[in-house]
Structure 1
Amino acid sequence: MQAVLSQTKFTTVAPQGNLNAANALEIERDLTTMLRHEDTQALLVSFQDVESFDSAGLMALVSSLKLAQALNKRFSLCSVSSAQRIIFELTQLDRVFEILDLEAEIAILD
């Protein structure tokens, strides 16, 4: 369901397809596993290949964010399309998540 692009200081996860009720538990489990890994200092979730997401997908992200905060780890989203960003804005989750644009993502990973 996802590809780990790098596992150095920042771990980048690139989910593909839909983040929805059918796979939300799997996504949350995978993100939780990565966050609990001692080498992961920050988790960057790339939305580049995410086609759509629903409330269950959002809740998986929120749960992962809460865990990251409890572990004092950074949890960020990047490559969020304008249509996807509207959903974050409507739910006011754009105030909760750190949402980076592509330029910021590249700067962080370099």
Structure 2
Amino acid sequence: MALLIRPSDNFNQKNSFLLQKQLEKILTTRSENYCVVDLATLNSINNYGLMTLVALHRIARKNNCHLYLINLNDSVKYCLELTGLDRRFEIKQEVG
């Protein structure tokens, strides 16, 4: 099975923490093979967003779940490339 996450806004400290806790709860209560994070609604990403993605990756890996990022705009792609995180994540082409 797959889990789809669609952050509704830019990351901040509060919603970053909530998203991490929700994913952790979901993955400890049910078995998911794939977790897809759809970033289509993000115009940009800040340090909370980057830290959140790293944390989600860690949580997914800990629970034997593959994490994928989809629908990244150029600004988000650039930030991931600049920090080297583009090599850490599995990034897929845009999905309709």
TM-score (norm 2): 0.86
Tell me whether 68-77 or 89-98 shows the greater mean CA deviation. 68-77
Matches for 1:55-74 after TM superposition, within 5 Å: 55-74=47-66
User: Shift in Å at residue 96 of structure 1?
Assistant: 0.4
Which structure exhibits the higher relative contact order, with contacts defined as CA atoms closer than 8 Å and separated by 6 or more residues? 2
Question: CA, structure 1 residues 35+53, in 2 after alignment: closer, same or farther (shift >3 Å)?
Answer: farther
1:27 aligned onto 2:19: yes
Q: Is the 8 A contact 1:19 1:57 kept in 2?
A: yes
**Residue pair 1:14, 1:45 contacting (<8 A) in 2 also:** yes
- C-alpha RMSD over aligned residues: 1.7
Letter aligned with residue 27 of structure 1: L
Q: Which runs of 5+ in 2 are unaligned?
A: none
Cα distance in 2 for partners of 1:78, 1:54 equals 17
User: Could you list the runs of 4 or more consecutive aligned residues of structure 1 that deviate by over 6 angstroms after TM superposition?
Assistant: none
Is 1:49 the equivalent of 2:41?
Answer: yes
Q: Is the 8 A contact 1:21 1:54 kept in 2?
A: no
> Identity of paired residues, percent?
26
- Amino acid across the alignment from 1:43: C
> Partner residue of 1:95?
87
Contact 2:45 2:79 in 1 (8 A): no
- Partner residue, 2:73: 81
Tell me, what secondary structure is at the counterpart of 1:24? helix
Deviation of the 1:56 alpha carbon: 1.6
More strand as a share of residues:
1
